[in-house]
Structure 1
Amino acid sequence: MSNPYEGLQDFVAGLPELVQPLMVALAGAIPYVEGEGSATLGIIVGINPIVAAIAGATGNILSVLLVVLLGSRVRESVVARRAAATPVANATTTVATVDEQATTDDKPTRRAKGQTKLRRWLVRFGVPGASLLAPLALPTQLTAAFFVASGVRKGWVMLWQIIAIVLWTGAVAAAAAGLVTVLGW
């Protein structure tokens, strides 16, 4: 079987070795590409599977960290503003979540379906289980934003998102490395 990625592999091989994992890390920061997709692409173009997996996971983790920190600050600001506006409100005032957002059409979007699934997993399995299952429904950046907006502590969100990213990226990268070896690319 001929290699459909030969031209791309030659291009990447011509880049400095330091730039190759940086490209994978940048791709890992993109929602829906994530650590798994970027590591797979890195492996396909000829980057060492371990380097590609670490770079992809690192880019994904850094983007999730940014989302968690920004989302947490936004939530704290909204909660504080609501508490100041209504003297009866207390510190546990909730912020508008996905439940309160209405869609304009009758047909839910792919993102709304993913958020509904994530909400059920969060109730059923808690943050650890929902974090591990969430990549099946939504990108980790959206999952992290959802958790923070729901009031989950940012440290807890980061811990379980990092665990999920490392596990998913490792599993997919191992599968990709095996497939590339079997196909002889």
Structure 2
Amino acid sequence: MLEALQNFTEGLPAALQWLGVILLGAIPFVESYLGSVIGVLAGLSPFVAIPAAIVGNIISMLVFVLSAHRVRERVTRDSEKVLSPRRQKLKERFDRFGVPGVSLLGQLVLPSQITSAAIVSFGASRNAVILWQTISIVLWGVVCGTLAAVGVNLFAGR
């Protein structure tokens, strides 16, 4: 799958490859961390690939957070919903680590879009989720994109 995404990015005209990386960053499970790596491997400068993947991931995350917030407002707070085992684990992590912890570490388990929507549905502040998810997306994108750029430079003998 990653090879297909890389081929997609490389297949775009050079002037539009950054747009392809933005689209990749918006895909759950690809996000900023893999989008930046794919962009670097496709030949984009890390100074283009990393911000492009971050922007795509943030836009996608915002859509999920704002949608989840609207849904939560519409649903009555009186009704208790039984959580699936996966959502129950996420709720337990949320209760234990709060918005910052789940935002920063949640990327290891679930995409930021799903994590952010879930913690908003648990009652977390929409603005706090947006802030901490943005920090997490930027952090993961920069770290993974930088590691990819260093790796490319090492293997290319630069």
Give the TM-score normalised by structure 1.
0.75
Corresponding residue number in structure 2 for 1:101: 83
Q: Does 1:173 align with 2:155?
A: no
Q: Does 1:134 align with 2:131?
A: no
Rg larger for: 1
**Alignment length, in residue pairs?**
154
Match of residue 12, structure 1, among 10, 13, 17: 10
Q: Hey, which of these two has a bigger chunk of helix by percent?
A: 2
Q: Does 1:60 align with 2:51?
A: no
Secondary structure of the 1:152 match is coil
Give how far 1:181 is off. Answer: 0.8
Give the TM-score normalised by structure 2.
0.87
Give how far 1:129 is off. Answer: 1.2
Q: Partner amino acid for 1:176?
A: A
Corresponding residue number in structure 1 for 2:92: 120
Counterpart Cα distance in 1 of 2:12 and 2:156: 20
Corresponding residue number in structure 2 for 1:23: 20
Corresponding residue number in structure 2 for 1:87: none
Match of residue 37, structure 2, among 17, 35, 40: 40
Give how far 1:50 is off. Answer: 1.6
Q: Residue 25 of structure 2 contacts residue 57 of structure 2 at CA under 8 Å; is this kept in 1?
A: yes
Corresponding residue number in structure 2 for 1:51: 48
Q: Partner amino acid for 2:83?
A: Q
Q: Which runs of 5+ in 1 are unaligned?
A: 80-91, 103-107
RMSD: 2.6
> Do the aligned partners of residues 14 and 30 (structure 1) sit closer, same or farther apart at CA in structure 2, a change above 3 Å counting?
closer
Corresponding residue number in structure 1 for 2:126: 154
Q: Partner amino acid for 2:155?
A: L
Secondary structure of the 2:13 match is coil
Runs (4+) of structure 1 exceeding 6 A deviation are none
Q: Which runs of 5+ in 2 are unaligned?
A: none
Counterpart Cα distance in 2 of 1:127 and 1:43: 30
